[in-house]
Structure 1
């Protein structure tokens, strides 16, 4: 029943930097709707998630995607996504990985104005010899906010786990912000777990170098941003799909910056 569903607040860890006001007025049942993905033993599954404007219309709607993913023994799941629309665009994933399984995630948030775009993940390593890798990039301007909240849980029996997450944020204007909250709960002692987070601006030296060789500022900016975002899609071996995701991200940059 929707009456039993309570709107989250910023007191909730997973919503700390979100725009919870954007949830008001939406169908509360959306908060309890999950897409379940089960990757069978030895199989490989790949999907892409895109939150983008339609045509020239700029959406101020709230769009929420929630996924529960079960990666069975020796299976691989790959999820790639771009959030480039909405007052609030949010993708949540809860992932369970069995022995020998692998989870790969590459995500990009892009936006300006007074918007929030965010990925929230929780990876459960309950079995040995499993791996996961997460790469997220955010480019924001105006009053735009990009968030990545990533939690990795490694159980006591999950020896030989190899789990990584990497976040980088690029701020193109003052007033924009990006937030990264890595959380690692590790109870096994023979594991490799790493996380990294950096925030910065466009490389002025690189922009000067390009300008000195006759590249217009807009072209130089686009090339630098493209290279920055490209890290999120390195593991995507479908060139056409990688280009489609990149076009969504760069299209937002071209239209609103």
Structure 2
């Protein structure tokens, strides 16, 4: 079988908004590697990532969270080319998964997070918060799938996506998916896309802030939600600064 035959296409739900030309540049081998991580029962593991660069990039993580354990992933995607962070999570009894992510940038790049969270056992929780800020012809995507097994009663799962478009040519796409076989669960998702609050920007300008300063403050407040649960202040600042650095040259 040829390499091309094994590459995904937009017919695959998880790749429907992907930059398929960029994926083809990576080749089948470039998207085949998974980073497998197991978190032992009762333990906590945090992963902080900055993804994206000047060439196509796909990062894939499989996370198995043991009973009573906690897995956390926080990420900023701010590269100049296609960047995809894909996470597959399987939760044990009473475990928790936390994901906070920001995609930000201009040009014509596609930046996306794709998650699949499997609640395999009872009493597990998960929370995912994604913020997307784009301009030019760029796109920010979040495809989040939650699966709740038949025996996974008392599941509590949530997803929240918000997109901020600084120019008309940019786009933000959210595809929340729920597959629930248990009957005593809480599963919620929300998705909104909008523009900067012009009233807030005018208020700041009236008090002497430059357009650049006002935009930076408004974007910082917007994306900050994604990292609220990140307790490591140093790591939080790194992710925020990487995101805000991408604002230089953004539309005003």
Query: Aligned equivalents of 2:25 and 2:203: distance in 1?
Result: 49
By how many angstroms is 1:216 displaced? 1.0
Residue aligning to 2:93: 99
Number of residues paired by the alignment? 251
By how many angstroms is 1:2 displaced? 7.6
By how many angstroms is 1:26 displaced? 2.2
Query: Aligned equivalents of 1:233 and 1:19: distance in 2?
Result: 27
8 A contact 1:40–1:75 mirrored in 2 = yes
8 A contact 1:2–1:28 mirrored in 2 = no
Alignment counterpart, residue 77 of structure 1, candidates 71, 76, 93: 71
Residue aligning to 2:102: 108
Deviations 1:198-233 (A, max 9, x none): 000000111111111111111010000000000000
Residue aligning to 1:56: none
Q: Compared with structure 1, are the counterparts of its residues 256 and 203 closer, same or farther at alpha carbon in structure 2 (3 Å cutoff)? A: closer
Structure-1-length-normalised TM-score: 0.94
Query: Aligned equivalents of 2:215 and 2:89: distance in 1?
Result: 36
| Structure 1: stretches of 5+ with no match in the other structure | 54-58
Tell me whether 1:208 sits opposite 2:202 in the alignment.
yes
8 A contact 1:79–1:104 mirrored in 2 = yes
Alignment of 1:120-131 (within 5 A): 120-131=114-125
8 A contact 1:117–1:146 mirrored in 2 = yes
Query: Aligned equivalents of 2:168 and 2:61: distance in 1?
Result: 33
Query: Aligned equivalents of 2:152 and 2:89: distance in 1?
Result: 15
Alignment of 1:222-237 (within 5 A): 222-237=216-231
Tell me whether 1:149 sits opposite 2:143 in the alignment.
yes
Tell me whether 1:170 sits opposite 2:198 in the alignment.
no
The 3-state SS of whatever aligns with 2:47 is strand
Residue aligning to 1:30: 30
User: What is the aligned-residue RMSD (CA, Å)?
Assistant: 1.4
Q: Compared with structure 1, are the counterparts of its residues 224 and 62 closer, same or farther at alpha carbon in structure 2 (3 Å cutoff)? A: same
Residue aligning to 1:19: 19
Query: Aligned equivalents of 1:96 and 1:149: distance in 2?
Result: 17
Query: Aligned equivalents of 1:189 and 1:16: distance in 2?
Result: 30
8 A contact 2:39–2:71 mirrored in 1 = yes
Tell me whether 1:39 sits opposite 2:6 in the alignment.
no
Query: Aligned equivalents of 2:80 and 2:107: distance in 1?
Result: 10
Q: Compared with structure 1, are the counterparts of its residues 190 and 26 closer, same or farther at alpha carbon in structure 2 (3 Å cutoff)? A: same
